Copies of this chain bind each other. A is one copy, B any other.
């Protein structure tokens, strides 16, 4: 056979997914988020893994109007025949600007341990990484937020659940220490944001840094459903999309 996959295959009376019987072992036994875990790890998550992952995906799923959710609504306005396209349009804006830090934090932390090993103290490793990045002119990812100027309310909650579920591991502790040192050096409190926290906790869950962003994208797809539903319920004329477009149309100054 030419194409080999661990993901799944259907026969006339059976569907296998990641080594499990979909109907007998998965449906009714696991959550939607666990399917994402299964895709990444090829096994069902433990109860703690499931709890942690659901918490992360709930945290990143929704927080009102964003450029991405506006795109979903504007797309539905023009193409109500294809809700899949409206969801897809919203996902397309889930790029480096909003979700990039999740990957960069995970990469920074995973490479820190890969390069320097586990022997240094967290404090020493944190200061080494901060110094390294400063010399290379690299910013520290995962810090700062344009609305949550001092505290991102999701960050503390996620670390609390990480502690309860056993995922407050070395990557999280390193990020927390880096954050502490960074604030100290600046003499003020700078937000440790939710995507930073997720990058660290997913590292402690054993997720390769290259895949953490995909989880966030999937979660965002779930969140975008609410935006579609709201504009469907309002009806085309009173939809947020129509209101936003009308406002722009009425307030545009053309200087050709």
Contacts and interface: CB of A to CB of B under 8 A. Distances in A.
Interface of A: 1-20, 22-24, 26-28, 30-36, 38-40, 42, 51, 54-55, 57-59, 61-71, 74-75, 77-89, 91-99, 147-151, 153-154, 156-158, 160-161, 208, 210-211, 213-215, 217-219, 221-230, 232, 240-241, 243-245, 247-249, 251-256
B218 A87 contact: yes
20 contacts: A2-B247, A8-B62, A8-B256, A9-B65, A15-B153, A16-B254, A23-B153, A26-B58, A27-B55, A28-B161, A30-B58, A31-B32, A39-B227, A64-B254, A75-B93, A75-B95, A79-B82, A81-B95, A91-B221, A208-B232
A206 to B, nearest CB: 13
A213 B83 CA distance: 8
Q: Which one of A3, A65, A89, A226 has the highest number of Cβ atoms from chain B below 10 Å of its Cβ?
A: A226
Contact of A32 (B38, B58, B147): B58
A227 to B, nearest CB: 7
